[in-house]
Amino acid sequence: MKNLLLIFAFLFSVQVAFCQKFRLYPEMEITSLSSNESELTLMNGEILDGEMGLATVQTSSGLQRITSVVVFKKGEKNLKYKPKDIKEIKIKANWSDMSSSDANNDSSLQIKFYADMKSDYYIFRTVLDKKGKPRLMQLLNPGFDSNIQVYVDAKSKDSSIAGMLGKETAKSYYLTKGTDEKGIYVKKSKYKKLFPKIFGDCDAMKTEFGEKIKWGDFTQHIYAYDQDCK
């Protein structure tokens, strides 16, 4: 009985840990998603669906960034759009394609927990980067993004040591709050200074975290803000 309780306690702690991680797939080939069911929303509100081609470039960090999207229409001229034209892209996720062997590794376990939660799609939205340029960025926290939206910084460097310690590995992200398209650039070295700007409008965050502000707890901060700051 004692062993059974320990197993349940372990499984619960693992699930909580994974549920508070972002859906970031640095190993994901974005172009391989183009065959999936997709929906594109333009800045003018028009919604297009169908087969799409995603043009990408690889950044200095090794991650990919979408530079344009082509919508293929049978018997019609292909339609090409730049990030400045696009509000959002939703691409059907591949949860059902996971093999039993894939489901046994850590990254796929993380994917499975998110698949069991709320998001059936990879979501990319246009956000203005720190230079004011429109970039299509992947939303990392679907399911707990009602207050703050967290996006991949395709140029972010990664800390392998942090990964081994189970901490936040990326060294920078972009955030948006509400409907603002201008991204807030957040990096590890400036995080403590930016914390009041990001979370200072919520007393619960001050009470819970106080002065103990660590980059390794960034995902936890985002999750807590979503749950406790309405």
Per-residue model confidence as pLDDT tens digits over 7-26 = 333 333 333 333 345 544 44
Give 41's DSSP letter.
Answer: E
> Distance between the two ends of the chain, CA-based, in angstroms?
41
Mean pLDDT of 30-34: 76
User: Residue holding tokens 């207050």?
Assistant: 147
How many Å apart are CA 47 and CA 89, to the nearest integer? 10
**pLDDT at position 205, please?**
93
Query: What's the pTM value of the predicted model, to 2 decimals?
Result: 0.77
Give mean pLDDT, residues 187-194: 93
Q: Both tokens of residue 134? A: 């429109």
Q: What is the mean pLDDT of the chain?
A: 76
Task: Name the residue with higher pLDDT: 100 or 166.
Answer: 166
Mean pLDDT, residues 182-186: 93
Please give the pLDDT value at position 157.
76
User: What are the tens digits of pLDDT across the range 102-133?
Assistant: 434 444 434 444 444 445 778 899 999 999 99
Sequence ranges of the domains in the chain = 2-24+88-228
Cβ neighbours for 148, distance < 8 A, ≥ 6 positions apart: 141, 175, 176, 177, 198, 222, 225, 226
* pLDDT number for residue 118: 45
DSSP code string of 47-67: EEES-EEEEEEE-TTS-EEEE
Could you give the CA distance from residue 211 to residue 138 in angstroms, rounded to a whole number? Answer: 30
Rounded mean pLDDT of 63-67? 88
User: The tokens of 89 are what?
Assistant: 């892209």
